[in-house]
Every structure is written in structure tokens, then in C-alpha cells.
Amino acid sequence: MPVPDFVRDSFVGQVIYYASGRRLFRYPEERPGFVLPPRYLSNSNEKPSRDSPASQPRDRRDSALSQRGPRSGSDRSQTLAEEPSHRDSKRKRPAGPLERESSQARELLHVHGRDAAEIEKAEEREIESSTIVDWYGPDDPEYPGNWSFLKRSFVTFQIGWLTFAIYIGSALYAPGIQDISQKFGISPVAASLGITMFMILSPLSEIPQFGRSPVYMVTMLIFVLLQIPTALAKNLGALLPLRFFAGFVGSPPLATGGASLADMWPPADRVVVIGVWSLAAMCGPVLGPTLGGFATQAEGWTWTIWILLWLSGTSWVFLALTMPETSSQAILYRRAVRLRRLTGNPDLKTQAEIEAANMTMNEVAMMTLVRPFLLGFREPIVIFWNFYLGMIYGILYCFIASFDVVFIEHHHFNLAQNGLAFLGIVVGGVIAFFGFLPWALFSLKPKFANGTFVPEDRLPPAFFGAFFFPASLFWFGWTSAASVPWILPILASGLWAIGAFYLFQAGMNYLADCYPRYVASVLASNDLFRSSIGAAFPLFSTAFFHNLGVGPALSIIGGIAIAMLPVPFLL
């Protein structure tokens, strides 16, 4: 009995598929009546030309396919039984502006530890002797860029929700710091290490044999289970390691969520969907103190962790049942496995599979773990944006400490009321998103249509954000006194959210466009810097604001933001 594709391709669907010996949740190739394309039937078939779609670099083919957009249902129904005409597609597509990389990036990202030319020759020999498994045609329904608009929107919501459910764990803990300090007999700074340890994240590897969805689901399940001993911890020695491991295993959606969106959406639409993802990433740590404040005030700090358990646990069930794989490389690898089993032809392979087979474990580790570090320290574009966006996240966690000083100590809010003060940031983020849409739709999108787009076209929103960012810090700092109405610093936090959203939007999209083939590594590098800076700020924020005062303290940070203001203009 056929099941919806998103259920079949979900984590649970894949478990059922393999556990049933591939008898349940079958793919089109495994159903009666499927017509296999002739080039996959035997070893003697003519191999694809080096200029054919099957042998072109993956990022070029994916970019070309994604520009076509989703097809109608009637068009899709015929795709799997049709063999594409390669005679009409042997023209080599020129590399567009989205495919350019700096020479230093190419040198860095293609380094393997062995002679690169030797590896490339070995890959070429294997490609020549193999039949490359690729999409069945430009309208292949399994290609994420050809999914229906509704399906892509649904998966986009899932990526955003997954990011929110993990990120809220960083700040949900914050209102319980004083309670932890009292019950464990430690200083508030030591208690705040629970935020810091959670924010030290490590991006996990992306390998075609794994894909994104299994990594998301397995790591999130561990994240959910870790919340139980965390809530039951009786001392700091147990609490901090558990918070660290929860942050570590929760890192994949934060590091590669943007790459998952890039799998499905063409560059012209990516500016909007990454905006949705950015809003989810912002709302997580902002709404954390709101929920955590009510929970801590009513039941103590442990209830902040129980809420995180319920939220992440129900999210895992929902996503495990309905979230499909988005990685083109993983989808094609699974297709190759099915075709090898059906035809008995061991030479049916994907290009990514051949590339992975020619790499040692050391080289795989270099590609997936070391590359984000190297990108973050050696590529000037990545360095600038990593520190800029890291500052945004660091100041977000500074706000968590400053709100306690401004609204609890100065305006005598209780924990629950202090949590509600963070809603100003949420409202500012929503205003920024809807203010951003007209520019994205009516200014940026036509540049894709007429072929004049370059990555720097992503940067104009950052021009406004670069000014709003420091202005909001001075405004918040110098209206934080008890004699000033409490609404004014909340309005300032809303302006900060607008500036932060515009900078985040411009930076993330710009990085993705400058390194299209290595989106996951670039975004993982950015996440590493953001998380590290965000982890450091809670350690000194409270003493910083108490010793200097909120106005002078935020003025210092605002001065740093002014010094960074020229970055988007120079780029």
C-alpha cells in the first residue's frame, strides 16, 4: 500500500522499510510496472559523456535543476518511466555567479592530505568505468528542488521548528540560575556555566551514506534523553557535563539547518526561507526566558528542564514520523543502492559515492570536522561575518543578563514579568521579517530572473542593520534607569532585533552564495563562532553590568558595533 513520500522518507519510515526487508514503503523502482532507464540495465551500456548531466559537477547540476522549480503533478507522474534525452543536454552549462569560490577556498576545501591530482585521476578512472546514477530527468520528483511548494514549505517549517526546539534550551535555563545558585550553594557565575556549556557546539559530519535526516533524528533523540538526568541532577558536577553533551548532540540543526533549506529552494527563494529559519533561531533563545521565568517562579529550576524535555520529545516524535531526507547526495546514494540490488550491476554508483570511496578516514575527518575551522580562520569573508554574527549572538545572551538588572532590580519585575519583557525582541524580529519581504520579492528576485545577480546583492539589508544595531544598544543602555518608563528599553530591544535580523539575513545568505558547493561547512563554521562567542558572554555579563552600570557597559559594546559598521559596505 503506497504511503506519502514524506512518511516513507522519514526516519521512522526508513526504519520500517529496512526492518521489513524492503517489502513495506517501497520506492517506485521496486514496484511492478516500473520501467528502468536503459543506461542502468547492463555494464555494457555506453557510459555518460563527461559533458552529460550525469558527469557534470553536482553543484552545477543541482543549481540548474533548482532553477526550474516544482512541476505540476501530471508532469511528475511520467518522470520515473522516462529516459531523458542526453543528446539535447550535452551542452556544458556555463558556471554562473553562484558557483564561484575564491582560489584560497578551492585550495583549502579540496585538500586531502594526499596528492590532489592523484586522487582526481583515480576518481576520473572510476567514473569512466562506472555508470553514474543521477536524476531520471529534470522533472525527477525525488529531487528536493522539484518537490511541491506545499511539501517544501512543510519541511521548511520542520527545520525551523527543530532549530527552535533545540535553541530554546540554551536560554530556558537562564531564569533558574538564581535558584540553582541557592540550592547547590554556588555563585551565580558558576551556575551560568549551564548556558555556556550548552552553547559550545560541534558540527557533525555530512556523508552521503548518512544524509541529514538520520543525523538530525539520532542526535535529537539523545538530546531528549539527556534532559531526564539533567533535571534530576543534584550538583554542579553532574549538571554541567549533561548540559555540555546536550548542546553537543543538539548541534546539527543549528549548524546545517540552512544547508537543508538550500537543498530544496533555489537561490531566488532562499532569501525568504532562510529569513523564516533566522526568525526561528532568534525566537528560541528569546522565548526561553519567557517560559523559563514562569516555570522557575512556580516550581523551581528543574521545571525549565522538564519543559525542554516535553517540547523536544514531542518535536522528535513529530519530525521522526514526517521529516524527509533533503540531501541530494544521500537521496541519490539510496537510489544507487536500490538499482544495484535490482540489476545486479555493481558499477552503478553516484559521483559523491566515488569521491567518498577515494578518501581515507583521515581525509573524511578533514573534510567534515577540520574544514569548518579552517574556513573560519583563513577565508576573510567568513572571518568578518563570523565575528559580526557572533557579536549579535553574544549580545543576545548579554541581554538575558541585562534584563535581570534592568527589569528585576530597577523596575522590580518578578521572574515571569521579566520573561515577558523579551517579547519586544520577538515583535521586532517579526516586524523585520515582514519589512524585509518587499525588498526580497521586488528588488532581489528580478535579478535572478534576468541573470544579473551576484552575491553582493544580498548585502543592502545589512546597511540598515549595521546602523540599527549600535543605535539600539545605546538606546537600551541609557534608558535602563529606574526613573525611565520600562517600555523604552523594551522598544530599544525591538530595534535591536530588527538590526540583528537584517545582519543575520544578509550574512547567512551571502556566505551561502559565496561558497555554494560548501554551504554546510561554511554555515557550520559560522555556527561554531556564534556559539563560542555566545557561550563566553554569560560568564561576565552580570558582573559587567553591575560594576559599570547598564548604560556604560552597553556603550562599550555599542562602540565595538560601530567599529564593525563598515564591514557590509566594504564587502
Question: Which pLDDT score is estimated for 179?
Answer: 78
Mean pLDDT score, 113-126 = 56
pLDDT band at 313 (very low <50, low <70, confident <90, very high): very high
Residue 96 is predicted with a pLDDT of: 34
Cα separations in angstroms, 343 against 41, 106, 350: 6, 37, 15
Choosing among 3.40.190.10, 1.10.1050.10, 1.20.1250.20, 1.10.3720.10, the CATH entry for 146-326+363-570 is 1.20.1250.20
Q: What pTM was computed for the model?
A: 0.76
What is the predicted pLDDT for the residue at 30?
86
pLDDT tens track for 526-567: 877 777 777 777 778 878 888 888 889 889 988 988 988 888
Mean pLDDT of 114-121: 56
| pLDDT tens profile 496-535 | 999 988 988 888 888 878 877 677 677 777 877 777 777 7
Is 346:126 a contact under the CB 8 Å cutoff? no
pLDDT of residue 306: 92
pLDDT digits (tens, 9 = 90+) for 58-103: 343 343 333 333 343 333 333 333 333 333 333 333 333 333 444 4
- Of 113 and 145, the structure prediction assigns the larger pLDDT to 145
Mean pLDDT value across residues 151-174: 86
Q: Residue 319 above 90 pLDDT? A: yes
- The CA distance from 64 to 32, in Å, is 32
Residue 127, pLDDT score: 59
Virtual torsion, Cα 219, 221, 223, 229, nearest 10 deg = -140
pLDDT band at 354 (very low <50, low <70, confident <90, very high): confident
First to last CA, the chain: 54
* pLDDT mean over 289-307: 85
How far apart are the C-alpha atoms of 254 and 284, rounded to whole Å? 11
Of 216-225, 241-250, 493-502, give the lowest mean pLDDT range: 241-250
Residue 262's pLDDT is: 83
Under 8 Å CB-to-CB from 570, ≥6 apart: which residues? none
The mean pLDDT of 178-187, rounded to a whole number, is: 78
Domain parsing of the chain, residue ranges: 1-34, 146-326+363-570
In this predicted structure, the answer to whether residue 201 has a pLDDT above a threshold of 50 is no
Please tell me the predicted confidence (pLDDT) of residue 83: 37
pLDDT surpassing 90 at residue 49? no
Chain centroid to Cα 398, Å, comes to: 23
Region 174-186 average pLDDT: 78
pLDDT confidence of 134, banded at 50, 70, 90?
confident
* Range 303-332 average pLDDT: 91
pLDDT in tens, 382-417: 888 888 888 887 887 777 778 888 898 889 998 888
DSSP characters over 173-192: TGGGHHHHHHHHT--HHHHT
Amino acid 62: pLDDT = 40
pLDDT at 278: 81
Whether residue 107 has pLDDT greater than 50: no
| Residue 485 in this model has a pLDDT that exceeds 50 | yes
